[in-house]
Every structure is written in C-alpha cells, then in structure tokens.
Amino acid sequence: MHHVVLERWSRGASPLHRRDPRSKFAALLVFLVVLATAHRALPLLAAAFLLLLAATLLWARVPLAGALRRAALVLPFTLLAGAVCWLGGDPARALSVVLKSYLSALAVLTVVSTTPLPLLLRGLELVGAPRFLLMVAQFLYRYLFVISEEAQHMRSAAASRGFARRSGGFRAAAGALAVLFARSYARAAEIHRAMLARAFPGRFHTLGALRFRAADAAFLALAALAPALIRAAIERLA
C-alpha cells in the first residue's frame, strides 16, 4: 500500500528531516497561503514554486519522481474541476485550480514525507491542537492498515465463495460490514485492556522531547521568506 512508501521516506536523515515538526508545519502554512492568495502571473509563479519544492525534495533526499507521481493523486479531481471551469467560460480559473491544488498537495507531501506522522501530530499538539483528537488520529493511523487487511480478507473470502455477484449481494455486504464493525469494536476493547495492563497513563510518552532550536528558527525564517520573496519578485517582473 501507499503508506509503506511514505513511512520509508519520512524516516530519512537529511537536514530537513531533523527540523522540528512545528517549524515545518508553519513553513507549510506560509507556503500554502502565499500560493492560495496569488493571482497574477500564475503559470510563472507555479513553475518557480515547482522548482522550489523539487529542490527541497532533492535536498531531503526524497525520490523526486515518486513524490511528483504521488502528488498527482489529486489530479483526477482537479482536472475534472478544471474542465468544469473551462466549460463555464473561465480558462484562467481552470488553470489556477489545477496548478494550485497540485502544488499544494506537493507541498503537503514534502512535509509529510520528511516528518514521521507521530512526530507531526506531536508537534501539532504542542501548538495547541486538541490532544484527544490527535490521539484518536494516531490510533486511527496505527490500526488503519490492520483493519483494512481484515476487510480485504473478508472480501476475498466472500469472492472465493462466489458471493459478490449474487442477487443477495447487498445484504451480504451489509452483514460483512456489521461483522467488521463488531470485530473492530472487540479489537478496541482488547487494545484498551492491553494498555491498562501496561499502566497507560492517558497520554503517549515520546522518547526525547521536541526542542525548537536556533536551526529550526533559521529554517522557518528562510522557508517562510522564500515563497513570499519569489512571489513578490515574479509579480513585479510580470
């Protein structure tokens, strides 16, 4: 599955991987806002931003082609939206929708592929996002692939019995989903008991506290200034 790739990328050891997740997330937000509010000379700006992101990805030693391909996951939807805009008589907006959504996805990918998700969520928690929600998200991510595999097993079991194509397929699928629900519920109870047995204190402990160092501040300043300056320069030129 896709996640394996992202997990492997995010465990790298480049200078970008070592930056504090808070600084990376803040830089990401600045980039996204600069991009979202830009309206002049968009194709030129998009090309410059693409180069910027590509350079960042190369610096982080993330496979560039793979990242570009993964960010293209948004394209089916955005191309459709672009087509709607085009047919609606607004080709400029069609272009902007496609360019902006692709670049935004690539920027998010740059951050996520250089930061392990638990660390990223921990950073968000330190910034003030509700811990309850982030812990739910963390458990979700942890068990996503476990439960998905269970669903896959059920699906192949049903298919091997020739069930999918029969007329009672709808009720059979509902039954399968109910069983999956019950199993997930039971699994959650087991997880909880196991956690209690290990004296879970109600929060995750991380090895090593996150520290916002001078290098992180410098990175943030640079990463926040770069897109803003590029945009200002291009808008002046254009």
Piece in contact with another protein (CB under 8 A), picked from 14-22, 53-61, 136-144, 220-228? 136-144
Distance from the first to the final alpha carbon of the chain: 43
Nearer to another protein, 173 or 210 (CB): 173
175 belongs to the binding site for another protein (CB under 8 A): yes
Structure tokens at 210: 């996150």
Q: Which residues are within 8 A (CB) of 64 and not within 5 positions of it... i.e. 6 or more apart?
A: 54, 57, 58
CB nearer to another protein: pick between 136 and 218: 136
- Does residue 13 sit in helix, strand or coil? coil
The minimum distance between CB 9 and another protein, in angstroms, equals 12
Instruction: Please work out the total of residues on this chain that contact another protein, with binding judged by CB under 8 A.
Output: 88
Taking the C-alpha atoms of residue 116 and residue 9, their distance in angstroms, rounded to an integer, is: 9
Pick the binder of another protein from 17, 22, 24, 100 (CB under 8 A): 100
Q: Using CB under 8 A, which of 142, 217, 225, 232 touches another protein?
A: 142
Kindly state the tokens that stand for 16: 């970008």
**Judged by CB under 8 A, which of 22, 27, 49, 78 binds another protein?**
78
Contact indicator for 120, 26 with CB cutoff of 8 Å = no
Nearest residue (CB) to another protein, 140 versus 218: 140
We find the least distance from the C-beta atom of residue 214 to another protein, in angstroms, to be: 27
Residue 107 has a CB neighbour count (10 Å cut-off) of: 22
Q: Which span sits near another protein by CB under 8 A: 52-60, 140-148, 211-219, 225-233?
A: 140-148
Site for another protein in 36-75 (CB under 8 A): 36-37, 39-40, 70-71, 73-74
Q: Which of 57-65, 181-189, 216-224, 225-233 is the region at the interface with another protein (rule: CB under 8 A)?
A: 181-189
CB 23, CB 216: distance < 8 Å: yes
Rounded Cα distance, 34 and 53, in Å = 14
Q: Token digits for 171?
A: 């009720």
Tell me: does residue 15 bind another protein (CB under 8 A). Answer: no
Closest separation in Å from C-beta 1 to another protein? 10
List all residues 6 or more positions away from 173 whose beta carbon is below 8 Å from its beta carbon.
none
CB of 176 to another protein, least distance (A): 6
Among 32, 41, 44, 210, binds another protein (CB under 8 A): 32
3 state SS for 128-144: CCCHHHHHHHHHHHHHH
Near another protein in 182-221, by CB under 8 A: 182, 184-185, 187-189, 191-192, 195-196, 202-203
Answer for the pair 5, 193: CB distance below 8 angstroms, yes or no.
Answer: no
Decide if residue 88 touches another protein (CB under 8 A): yes
